[in-house]
Amino acid sequence: MSYIQGETGDWEIVIGLEVHAQITSNAKLFSGAATAFGAEPNSQVSFVDAAFPGMLPVINEYCVEQAVRTGLGLKAKINHHSVFDRKNYFYADLPSGYQISQYQQPIVGEGKLVLDMPDGTSRTVGITRLHLEQDAGKSLHDQHPAKSYIDLNRAGVALMEIVSEPDLRSAEEAGAYLRKLRSILRYIGSCDGNMEEGSMRCDCNVSVRRPGAPFGTRCEIKNVNSIRFVIAAIEYEAQRQVEVLEEGGTIVQETRLWDTTKLVTRSMRSKEEAHDYRYFPDPDLLPLELDPDWVEDIRKTLPELPDEKKARFIEDYKLSAYDAGVLVNEKARADYFETVAKGRDPKIAANWVTGDLFGYLNKAGKEIEDSPVSAENLGGLIDLIADDTISGRIAKEVFETMFETGEKPADIVEKKGLRQVTDTGAIEGAIDAVLAANAGKVEEFRSGKDKLFGFFVGQVMKATQGKANPALVNEILTKKLKG
Ligand code: ADP
Ligand code: MG
């Protein structure tokens, strides 16, 4: 638990998140119009999306299935009966004057999500609900000095709104929640989780209280579009509230904006100015009735999800919770690791993947999908160490070349002549030369300066360009120095 140290003592942060996740679907929630990102403005708008009189919404079964799959992935209760409501408000990018959403009876009820914290610990956070709704269009205010333009491509696109309980207690936990949620959505395939393109957006509800006291009044920060900003916005907002309270003020419930250039939250509207959405069931849509067998069939086709995969990696491969967590975070990483580990020592495989490979990918700004080193080739490199063709040290050098050129490890070893020297005669020769050239140091060693052993090993490795088998060097050197 992390507290904010105020002038008058400790304060605890309380956070609940509302995430809008765009469903990966070729068509919109209630129309057949396309949804591809980046299309020419107003090129993907049907009469339904533009709210022409007399047009009727038709539910997209695929989107319903994605919401159910996601609910199952969040270990949540699936509501076999749910209702679509109209949420009424007026805005230029909402041609119908209402958004079709779900209010009292959402498609998915209570669920849970496990946070994996960087220190390897985990904690369970409650999910309140998940409901289906359509997105609004987009107002473009920066295209003309005096006019605003409207792009309705986004109007009607299917969203899942996923609401958490106020269970999060620090900005870091909020970050861990979003990373985990994104990971689950990607495993399920219901949302690409791409925050830069706006397919995952987050409203952050933040309050502060004295440890153990009842919840304080919250403020909601709207539409934050990166995990980094979510963390910064929550930290700023909690600090602001602590300062207000310590000066004897009160927090007014309000909606705030995150200013991405000044890095502050600013008031947008207070509770008094809040919209009255006049929710009522949409008369154009029947309640959604799900066949329990259909839901069970979907459950059977769910992939292995991150938590289960992590548990299996810890159990079967004896990995640490931390390594397992890092590997299962993205399915492509987990698959890569399993290919490397197949028939090999899993701990060695995990070290190469999480250490060397992730390090190089990180530095190159590459995703695992674009790794120049294939899982098969990394496995081949590990085999070359295991059968004594190369030493672990030379392997690092080979790996660097593999990453630069994408070549097979055996080819690099042959081409560069990196094959390990296991010929005892050759190693003895090198050792004799090193000892002869350092007679003084040999004296010192023999009169008790044990630490010099490392120096001799280093000299021999240098003389053999790192190719001498380290175990043999140790053995022969020990014999010659002590014998
Ligand atoms: P509304 O209906 O106004 O959207 P909800 O009860 O649905 O309010 O809560 C919205 C979000 O606010 C949820 O994620 C919830 O966890 C969070 N929340 C509720 N109370 C608090 C609080 N005191 N501090 C922080 N977050 C809160
Ligand atoms: Mg809400």
Whether 140 has a pLDDT exceeding 70, the answer reads yes
Helices and strands in the chain, H and E counts? 16, 16
Task: State the pLDDT confidence band at 357, using cuts at 50, 70 and 90.
Answer: very high
Longest CA pairwise span in the chain (Å): 100
What is the distance in A from the centroid of ligand 1 to the CA of 256?
14
CA distance 358 to 124: 28
pLDDT digits (tens, 9 = 90+) for 63-81: 999 999 999 999 999 999 9
3-state helix, strand, coil split of the chain in percent (to 5) is 40, 20, 40
Give the three-state DSSP class for 409. Answer: helix
pLDDT digits (tens, 9 = 90+) for 127-136: 999 999 999 9
Mean pLDDT of 331-350: 97
Give, using CA atoms, the residue closest to atom 9 of ligand 1: 16
Instruction: For the beta carbon of residue 367, count every other beta carbon within 10 angstroms.
Output: 11
Task: State the pLDDT confidence band at 91, using cuts at 50, 70 and 90.
Answer: very high
Ligand 1 pocket member 361 (CB < 6 A): no
Phi/psi zone of residue 14: left (φ > 0), alpha (ψ -120 to 50 degrees), beta?
A: beta
Give me the DSSP letters along 137-161: -EEE-SSSSS--EEE-TTTT-EEEE
Q: Identify whether the C-beta of residue 23 lies closer than 8 Å to the C-beta of residue 191.
A: yes
What is the distance in A from the centroid of ligand 1 to the CA of 202?
13
Whether 275 has a pLDDT exceeding 90, the answer reads no
Whether 48 has a pLDDT exceeding 70, the answer reads yes
Ligand 1 pocket member 372 (CB < 6 A): no
Give, using CA atoms, the residue closest to atom 13 of ligand 1: 16
Whether 192 has a pLDDT exceeding 70, the answer reads yes
Among the ranges given (222-236, 299-313, 429-443), the one the predictor scored with the smallest mean pLDDT: 429-443
Mean pLDDT of 238-253: 96
Instruction: Tell me the ligand closest to 104's alpha carbon.
Output: 1
| Residue-level pLDDT at 422 | 80
Give, using CA atoms, the residue closest to atom 19 of ligand 1: 166
Mean pLDDT of 230-240: 97
Phi, psi of 336 (to 5 degrees): -60, -50
| H helix or E strand, kind and range, residue 179 | helix 171-188
Mean pLDDT of 145-169: 97
Report helix angle 470-482 to 424-437, nearest 10.
Answer: 50
Mean pLDDT of 388-392: 90
**According to DSSP H, which parts of 387-423 are helical?**
392-405, 409-416
pLDDT digits (tens, 9 = 90+) for 277-298: 999 999 999 999 999 999 999 9
Mean pLDDT of the chain: 94
Whether 18 has a pLDDT exceeding 80, the answer reads yes
CA distance 241 to 259: 17
Mean pLDDT of 336-350: 97
What is the distance in A from the centroid of ligand 2 to the CA of 18?
7
Percent of the chain with pLDDT over 90: 84
Report which DSSP code applies to 190. Answer: S
Whole-model pTM: value is 0.88
CA distance 473 to 209: 64
| H helix or E strand, kind and range, residue 112 | strand 111-116
Ligand 1 pocket member 205 (CB < 6 A): yes
Nearest to residue 453, comparing CAs of 463, 441, 440? Answer: 441
Task: State the pLDDT confidence band at 271, using cuts at 50, 70 and 90.
Answer: confident
Ligand 1 pocket member 164 (CB < 6 A): yes
| Residue-level pLDDT at 483 | 67
Nearest to residue 150, comparing CAs of 136, 132, 165, 129? Answer: 136
| Residue-level pLDDT at 1 | 60
pLDDT digits (tens, 9 = 90+) for 408-426: 999 999 998 888 888 888 8
pLDDT digits (tens, 9 = 90+) for 464-480: 888 888 888 999 999 98
